[in-house]
Chains A and B, each alone.
Chain A
Amino acid sequence: MTIYLPIADLPVNIFLLLALGLAVGFVSGMFGVGGGFLMTPLLIFFGISPGVSVATVATHITASSFSGSLSYWRRGAVDFQMAAALSAGGMLGTWSGIWIFTTLRSVGQLDLMISFSYLILLTTVGVLMVMESLRSIMRVRQNKPSLTRRSGGAHIWVHRLPLKVRFRRSKIYISFIPVFGIGYLIAVIGVIMGIGGGFLLVPMLIYLLRVPTTTVIGTAAMLTTATMAMATVMHAVTSHLVDAILALVLMAGGVVGAQFGARSAQNLAPERLRFLLGFLILAVGFRFGYELISTPERLYTIRILESGF
């Protein structure tokens, strides 16, 4: 059964889209990430234009991250104070990201920029994750105790910044500046690339801000909800590229898939999960790298400047 996507201007098999949503949702539930880094490339691969893909995936991530934040909220695992501080940066970041997105689109380098950012970001994060998780797996094999993340009172430059605020739920006392900055950075990257940025945000919160593992994922999901909800509205207003029908089908599959993913993850050790996720991220990154250097199928691309007269 095909359904006509009104904004993407394309008929697509509805079951294929639902399956895509389910599969990406499964992965996102399994690893506790939004899955945007998989969804956006897959939509582009299916022939939906990068612009529509990025804008529509923002809507999809809004749904999946909101569903996630609500379940963490019920368990009391959200630091609302920190989520608010992150979101303040996130709002500004979304605005900047939309501006960069629109500018790149008008000068015709949006597709290249999306491919390039995916390559750099995903291969870097993928390599780091795979290496880190391999080390953890080795340590578990040799029955050595895992390294404690909170290395005592070790202070890095982040902790010397002024404007310190006490985040009660996370029990940390830290400057507002890096919290705001991280929110800003993740939002800019997220808006341009069509990702929630959870796989970047969570490590940053843990390693830079020392947010405890009890609140980190719930708080990250809250920020992602805020930035992606805003990105949805801003993409809709500035570029008219959000396809509501596409988003609805994707998120319907996505939220269901996420539940199964979360359940199947319970039987896997965390370091193995990180290894698998790192491997997946790396694979997507390499795919983009291959696309940049291999001779494209079509050297000539067509962009519509003005239509319908």
Chain B
Amino acid sequence: MRPATGLAAACALALGLLWSPARAERLITTIAPSKISISASYSGGYIVIFGAIADPKATRPSYDAVATVIGPRQNLLVRRKERVLGIWVNRSSETFIGVPSYLAVSANRPFEAIAQPDVLHYHRIGLQHNVFPDQSVDENDPFQTNFIKTRIQEGLFVVQPNGVTFVSPTVFRADIPLSNTVLTGTYQVFVQIFADGQPIAEAPSTFQVEKIGLPQFVVASSVNYSLIYGLATMAMALLTGWIASVAFSRS
């Protein structure tokens, strides 16, 4: 069979599957809020992912759901302090490329209970398969493990083996905490559903984190108009000093 005929056959097969009465499950998700705004009073927040499985099959015993949230990526230098002449000094270091600044992995039960390790690896489920863009975490590398430990303590890496709750057998929600130090940018959300240890549907989506109001204004001017920003800050300081000296010299 020539390739073109093969392709046509595959298309026909796909079409046939779509039109057949026993359609595969579909996953529908929505995120609330669709935008996280960092204002002057921001002190951390939550996003909630809602998911529904359309056209469920009665033959499935139950579904599992996994949600992965990946923030803007960063290049990082992780340094290790070592003792030199009794003083702790930054000595050796490792560079990490394309690491998410924020990473949350949630599921309705522990990942290893949902699927086999090779399936988890292949479909990039769980923290260790999402930290680096092209490899999994090496548990024997202290730079990697300590980096992850720090990020978890900072609330920038979130692991919730019971973070997804099934409201009904086919409807679920995931509450993902966003720490107060998250970066601005586009956050990618991947939701996958599993049944019998195999992935059956997925739905990617995104939400935005942005600074608004005063923080946005300060950051934008400090970067884009740094000289004016510096002069304005200096003027503000001199003015404060002047006001103080006038106010208190009279009293």
Residues of A within 8 A of B78 (CB): 300-303
Bound Cα distance A229, B239 (Å):
12
Count of residues in B whose CB is under 8 Å from the partner chain: 65
Residue B123 interfacial (CB < 8 Å) = no
The majority secondary structure among interface residues of chain A is helix
| Pair B74/A300 contact, Cβ less than 8 Å | no
| Pair B79/A71 contact, Cβ less than 8 Å | no
CB of B229, distance to nearest CB on chain A (Å): 5
| Pair B74/A63 contact, Cβ less than 8 Å | no
Within 8 A of B (CB), among A67-103: 67-68, 70-71, 74
| Pair A232/B234 contact, Cβ less than 8 Å | yes
| Pair A300/B150 contact, Cβ less than 8 Å | yes
Bound Cα distance A300, B114 (Å):
33
Which of B5-13, B48-56, B218-226 lies at the binding interface?
Answer: B218-226
CB of A50, distance to nearest CB on chain B (Å): 13
Residues of A within 8 A of B218 (CB): 6-7, 243-245
Residue among A11, A67, A225 with the most chain B CB within 10 A?
Answer: A67
Residues of B within 8 A of A308 (CB): 72-74, 101, 183-185
Partner of B147, one of A60, A116, A255, A302: A302
Partner of B150, one of A11, A74, A244, A302: A302
Residues of B within 8 A of A125 (CB): none
Bound Cα distance A301, B81 (Å):
8
> Nearest chain-A residue to B223 (Cβ)?
A240
Which of A36-44, A133-141, A149-157, A290-298 lies at the binding interface?
Answer: A290-298
CB of B181, distance to nearest CB on chain A (Å): 6
| Pair A62/B43 contact, Cβ less than 8 Å | no
Residues of B within 8 A of A299 (CB): 80-81, 146
Residue A214 interfacial (CB < 8 Å) = no
| Pair A300/B75 contact, Cβ less than 8 Å | no
| Pair A305/B237 contact, Cβ less than 8 Å | no
Which of B34-42, B58-66, B189-197 lies at the binding interface?
Answer: B34-42
Residues of B within 8 A of A303 (CB): 76-79
Residues of B within 8 A of A252 (CB): 240
Residues of B within 8 A of A7 (CB): 218-219, 222
Residue A280 interfacial (CB < 8 Å) = no
Residue A158 interfacial (CB < 8 Å) = no
Which of B17-25, B84-92, B105-113, B159-167 lies at the binding interface?
Answer: B84-92
Name 28 interchain pairs, CB-CB below 8 A, sorted by A. Answer: A1-B41, A2-B43, A6-B216, A11-B180, A59-B237, A63-B237, A68-B241, A74-B249, A108-B93, A109-B90, A232-B230, A244-B222, A255-B241, A255-B244, A258-B244, A293-B88, A300-B78, A300-B142, A300-B146, A302-B78, A302-B147, A303-B77, A303-B78, A304-B75, A307-B183, A308-B72, A308-B101, A308-B184
Q: Chain B: residues with CB nearer than 8 A to chain A? A: 38-44, 72-81, 86-90, 93, 95, 98, 101, 142-143, 146-147, 150-151, 180-181, 183-185, 211, 214-216, 218-219, 222-223, 226-227, 229-234, 236-238, 240-246, 248-249
